[in-house]
Amino acid sequence: MPTTHDALRRDSRSAEATEYRKLYSTARWKRLREVKLAQQPLCEWCLEQEIVEPATEVHHADGGHKGDVVKFFAGPFVSTCKPCHSSRGQMEDHGKTVVTYGVDGYPIER
Ligand SMILES: [Zn+2]
């Protein structure tokens, strides 16, 4: 549901980005991150393609948090390796649908 708040949020995008970048340095986020990486220490996106790669990043799944503090801490989260996070993670954050192909050559439904 589009609201005035959303319109304002778009206008102040960069200010907002600076604001929620700070969330990444909170103890709460660092704790959540540790827990997620402990639960899933491997890159979940690489695993879809049968690649075993240690995860070093925790990505906000479901289109990202968009500056939403509640969503930022609530997740859902995906453990990813750095290359996956910087390619696919960025694309998802920009609202693009990422189609990945499994080892059988068929697209993986997400
Ligand atoms: Zn990966």
pTM for the predicted model, two decimal places:
0.70
Distance of alpha carbon 9 from alpha carbon 67, whole angstroms: 9
Q: What's the domain count of the chain?
A: 1
Residue bearing tokens 């439904």: 109
Range of the domain at 46: 4-108
48-96, pLDDT tens digit by residue? 999 999 999 999 988 788 888 899 999 999 999 999 998 887 777 777 7
CA of 9 to the centre of ligand 1 (A): 31
Which neighbouring-strand residues pair with 79? 58
Neighbours of ion ligand 1 (CB under 5 A): 43, 45-46, 53, 81, 84
Burial 3-24 (b: 16+ CB within 10 A, else e): eeeeeeeeeeeeeeeeeeeeee
Helix (H, G, I), strand (E, B) or coil at 8: helix
